[in-house]
Amino acid sequence: MGTEAAPAPATPATHVVLLASPGAGHVVPVAELARRIVSQGGGGGFTATLVTYTNFASAEHSSTLASLPPSVSTAVLPEVPLDDLPADARVETRIFTVVKRALPHLRDLFRSLLESPSGVAAFIPDLLGPWAFEVARELGVPGYLFSTTNLTSLSVMLHVPELDRTTTCEFRDLPEPVRLPGCVPLRGADLLDPIQDRSNPVYPLMVEFGKKHLLADGYIANTFDAIEHETLTAFKELSDKGVYPPAYAVGPFVRSYSGSEAAKHSCMQWLDEQPGDSVLYVCLGSGGTLSTKQTVELAAGLEASGQRFLWVVRFPSDKDNSASYFGTAKHGDDPLSYLPEGFVERTKDVGLCVPLWAPQVEILNHRAVGGFLSHCGWNSTLEAASAGVPLLAWPLYAEQRVNAVMLTERTGLALRPSTDGCSGDGVVPRGEIEAVVTELMVGEKGAAAREKARGLREAAAKAWAPDGPSRKAFEAVVGKWKMAKHAD
């Protein structure tokens, strides 16, 4: 009697490790990338570990991780001390310090993963974690940078070391625009916020930051061809010349909330009662804040415009316009109490003010919403483009001014308030707010931006179609990881 051959041992899955920097703007898109890798990568056979930091973890951070599928495991690096940083240290300084000080913990985690049957086929830190490439190189693991912003801003970051070498003045004082390959010309004042003061401790970190990005074996960007065609083309040309590693535009990644979570929010019922394309959605991101004076001027401008609005109101800060990034803004009272006296009552027929949070993706996709006053954070921008909603650009910090220039001067997706009438403290006056809100919602320029937004909505939907450019780019890069795994 013959004996049956024993079944061949199962081939271990191709395993990748992703690293998300502190902040919802990083954890959310990195989690979405992990989700797509394990669900659609190379015909299956992928698992992932998503690594985050104990420092600055938030409730949204926890809920995002809890929503991941079983094939994505999570690991949290131990907290690192930051007591020696000054109380007014910039957001970027805090993040970079966490990333650098946590490298020994990341190295220990990597070594344990490399000893597992699946090993590690690729390491993918997000935009703010390029120092971690040192660990990957030390242990022989290919590293791919995941840019949670656009390629235009990534190009600026890559050029910071060169700009530092070739200029001596503050960038805001440059007499001519900065012209980078494939990018819209940028005034010095619109370059990255963290490099605007050479005396700030974050400045040398930004120079080092730009150099570390060149350690990557490839750039994976949460963007898509239709919104950055010229810049993506330039990256490909520079990659062919060996200047940059290959770039893969795999976006847009857009988060979503459960239908029940959005439906129970009172603002959705209010939107149901409004005419189509009539409401301006006002939200400055999870980390953005306005000064007390600017909050008052914004309220007055909205009221004077007479346009319908839905405003997610957060606590003002007179010190830092990124004060909410780590949840360090004021707490314990009602943010609506900082609005002008009687404002909520006077505008109740056309406006709704919501404290702190609202289901943004569902709001942007509601038929009543016709515009979005936004800080131009890249996640919010992609959410607006995917929903076909034009923007009123109100950049606050980080790379948001770069984004605003790109959106107004190249894509045509946004209008931007004039700064001509701003006071010395940079506050945009109510009259300018009234004018630009009215133009976006009912003017000819707003209509043109809305038409452009609808075209981008179609392009965003096609990007991940079976033959879409983003899907093809995604399959190309994950295919590399799978081939490398099978070659071992």
On the question of a cis peptide bond just before residue 175, with omega within 30 degrees of 0, the verdict is no
Q: Is residue 361 part of a domain?
A: yes
Distance of CA 369 to the CA centre of its chain: 22
**Which region among 43-57, 256-270, 303-317, 324-338 has the lowest average model confidence (pLDDT)?**
324-338
Note whether 338 and 404 are same-domain residues: yes
Note whether 454 and 469 are same-domain residues: no
Cα–Cα nearest to 248, from 220, 225, 227: 220
pLDDT level of residue 443 (50, 70, 90 thresholds) = very high
Cα–Cα nearest to 164, from 200, 202, 199, 195: 195
Catalytic annotation present for 126: yes
Domain total of the chain: 2
d(CA 178, CA 192): 12
Give the pLDDT score at 422: 83
d(CA 319, CA 389): 31
Note whether 190 and 320 are same-domain residues: no
38 exposed, middle or buried (CB, 10 Å; 0-12, 13-18, 19+)?
buried
Note whether 80 and 195 are same-domain residues: yes
pLDDT level of residue 287 (50, 70, 90 thresholds) = confident
Note whether 182 and 322 are same-domain residues: no
Angle between helices 430-442 and 444-463 (to 10 degrees): 60
Tell me the per-residue pLDDT of 131-150, one tens digit each, with 9 for 90 and over.
999 999 999 999 999 999 99
459 exposed, middle or buried (CB, 10 Å; 0-12, 13-18, 19+)?
buried
Instruction: Name the active-site residue from 15, 26, 366, 375.
Output: 26
> What number is the average pLDDT over the span 290-310?
98
Instruction: Name the active-site residue from 15, 61, 105, 126.
Output: 126
Q: Is residue 121 part of a domain?
A: yes
Q: Is residue 357 part of a domain?
A: yes
Range of the domain at 55: 14-251+465-487
Q: Is residue 476 part of a domain?
A: yes
Tell me the per-residue pLDDT of 136-194, one tens digit each, with 9 for 90 and over.
999 999 999 999 999 999 999 999 999 999 999 999 999 999 999 999 999 999 999 99
Q: What is the pTM of this model?
A: 0.94
Q: Is residue 3 part of a domain?
A: no
Give the pLDDT score at 1: 43
Q: Is residue 1 part of a domain?
A: no
Pair 287, 25: CB distance under 8 Å: yes
Note whether 81 and 227 are same-domain residues: yes
Note whether 58 and 186 are same-domain residues: yes
Note whether 131 and 275 are same-domain residues: no
Catalytic annotation present for 26: yes
Query: Residue 67 belongs to a domain with what CATH number?
Result: 3.40.50.2000
Note whether 266 and 170 are same-domain residues: no
Residue 77 sits at φ, ψ, to 5 deg, of: -75, 140
Sign of CA dihedral 215, 217, 222, 226: positive
d(CA 427, CA 290): 9
Q: Is residue 9 part of a domain?
A: no
Tell me the per-residue pLDDT of 25-56, one tens digit each, with 9 for 90 and over.
899 999 999 999 999 876 679 999 999 999 98
Note whether 169 and 304 are same-domain residues: no
- Of residues 346 and 258, more confidently modeled: 346
Q: How far is CA 60 from CA 23, 27, 64, 298, 330, in A?
A: 9, 9, 6, 27, 18
Note whether 357 and 208 are same-domain residues: no
Note whether 66 and 171 are same-domain residues: yes
For the chain, the distance separating the N- and C-terminal CA atoms, rounded to the nearest angstrom, is 38
Looking only at the bridges linking them, the beta strands covering 369-374 and 122-125 are unpaired
Q: Is residue 420 part of a domain?
A: yes
